[in-house]
Amino acid sequence: MAQQILFFFYLAAFISITTPQSSSPLTKQQQQWLTKSEKHEKNGWIYLHIEGKPKERGFQHGYLLAKDITEGIRIQRKVWEYESAMEWSWIVARSTELFAAKIDSENLEEINGITEGLTAAGSAITKEEVIAYNSASELIGSWWPTVKDTISPNAPKSKKESCSSFIATGSMTKDGGIVLGHNTWSSYCFANFNVIMDIVPEKGHRILMQAAAGLIHSGTDFFITDAGLVGSETTIGGFEPFDPDGIPEFARMRTATQYASSIDEWCTIMKKGNNGGYANAWLIGDVNTNEIARLELGLKYVGFERTKNGYFTGSNIAEDLKILRFETTSNELNIKNPDIARRVRWKQLMKENKGKIDLAKAELFLADHMDTYLKTSTPGARAICGHWELDSQISGLDEPFYPLGAYDGKVVDTKMAKKMSFRARWGTSCGMPFSAAAYLKEHPQFDWIEGLIKDRPTEQWVNFTAGEKK
């Protein structure tokens, strides 16, 4: 009896410390679910451990990150309504029509759990909004461009997510194992992918991945699994085709990462029902064999390469010629374009560092400011560590000083992946701080994003490991 009383004492203390203000008391089942979770903050990141059946791990997620999810959806809504002049309720309804019936039962149940957790924490966010938030990259970035001219002809194209990444193995690396590095690029309005999510599902493989609060997939994407898979992606720039009848990308990505035990299995799941949404070049590695691969997933065309001795890079330009020529509008020779400039720089770095690549080198690569067009080390849009906000019209951008760039860095090698661990830096890969107030004072043309962009102070590289405690 004493042990039972002590258990409920610690349970009550846990809930009072870790949970938001509830609108109603939690059930005993919900309280029990929360005892399996863990949340703490470190160097600008939020570490979240969730586990169990789909609904219970979703509840843990929704309840513990309710404030962050609500804020993320608030920002998504504001950006959508400003850029499109359309109501948030309208795009949420389109997301429900396009995607809800195509989400598999397990992923849908996890979304139901997130919604239940949000409700229990006092948030008014709906299930439909959570689905729209998870599908935003393909909904707004891929589907909307195919219909917007019939609805809002003068609406500008949304700027898609962009990233820089490399993966190397064999003679390219210092120890012959895999080294993977990635930094996330997007509008600074969406610089909220600061969640390190440790997922232990009832079925499938354990996942340690970067994400934003409220997502069941990564979204950036950077992940490792206990099957020995590591992965990242970079968006294929200028990509146009979209199939509204396909399976949403976010559901396929999560299923592949949770259930695949090999590179081949992961790619097979991603290709099945492919809708062309959020088209990416995926850099995948298997630390059991030190084999790496690049899957470029267009719509009609798919590029695939694999090796145990070499490297692959990603900088938002398709490498597969059929995808490049038939499914994108990109010009791979225009080095003024940030994507092309970074592509050239990646090749330079790989050539210069053959046989020397390790985690320390990977961190330096992600912080690189070399502009291969100007041939100077200049923080700007053409650097691997991108800073569009510092760039003027000299880069050929339609909107000079646009608040977009790299706001993190992640690296992992074979040794770390086998321990379910990786290194990460929040803010920028180079450590340059960002002040929202100073930026808006300097560039008043972007005053509409006041309250949507946040400060990012200089943070240090830090290790994350599955199962860690505060």
452 domain residue, yes or no = yes
Same domain, 130 and 259: no
- Whether cis (ω within 30° of 0) applies to the bond prior to 104 is no
Single residue among 130, 151, 172 that ends a domain in this structure: 151
* 3-class secondary-structure state, position 28: helix
Amino acid at 363: E
Count up the domains in the chain and report the number: 2
Residue 208 shares a structural domain with residue 145 = no
Residue 13: per-residue pLDDT: 45
For residue 398, being part of any structural domain is answered with yes
Percent helix, percent strand, percent coil in the chain, to nearest 5: 40, 25, 35
Query: CATH number of the domain that 252 lies in?
Result: 3.60.60.20
Of the three residues 125, 151, 177, the one that is the final residue of a domain is: 151
pLDDT attached to residue 151: 86
Task: At 454, give phi and psi (nearest 5°).
Answer: -125, 155
State the Cα angle at 358 between 352 and 362, rounded to 5°.
75
Tell me the two tokens of residue 39.
């949340």
Asked if residue 229 is part of any domain, the answer here is yes
Same domain (yes/no): 90, 124: yes
- Could you state, in chain order, the average pLDDT of each consecutive group of 10 residues for the chain (470 residues)? 42 45 81 98 98 98 98 97 95 98 98 98 98 96 92 66 92 98 96 98 98 97 97 95 97 98 98 97 98 98 98 97 96 94 97 98 98 95 95 74 96 98 97 98 97 98 97
Q: Which tokens belong to 239? A: 């990509």
Q: Where are the alpha helices (H) located in 248-310, listed in sequence order?
A: 249-259, 263-271
* pLDDT value of position 5: 41
| Long-range contacts of the stretch 383-387 (C-beta < 8 A, 24+) | 383/341, 383/342, 383/345, 384/164, 384/183, 384/315, 384/342, 384/345, 384/346, 384/429, 385/164, 385/183, 385/409, 385/428, 385/429, 385/430, 386/162, 386/164, 386/185, 386/338, 386/342, 387/428, 387/432
Residue 34 in any domain: the answer is: yes
Distance of CA 370 to the CA centre of its chain: 24
Looking at the structure, do residues 103 and 246 belong to the same domain, yes or no?
no
- Let me know if residue 470 belongs to a domain: no
Residue 303, in any domain of the structure? yes
Evaluate whether residue 21 is within a structural domain.
yes
DSSP three-state, residue 216? coil
109 in the same domain as 51: yes
User: pTM, whole model, 2 decimals?
Assistant: 0.94
Positive or negative, the CA dihedral 449, 454, 457, 462 is negative
Residues 111 and 422: their CA atoms lie apart, in Å, by 27
Shared domain check, 306 and 253: yes
187: β partners:
404
Q: What is Dmax (Cα atoms) for the chain?
A: 74
The structure tokens 């949403």 sit at 248
What integer pLDDT is reported at residue 224 of this predicted model? 98
Same domain assignment for residues 169 and 136: no
287 and 310 both lie in a single domain = yes
Domain annotation covers residue 366: yes
- Domain hosting residue 22, numbered range: 2-151
Residue where a domain stops, chosen among 121, 151, 181: 151
**CA dist 198 to 18, 154, 328, 426, 431, Å?**
17, 42, 35, 17, 25
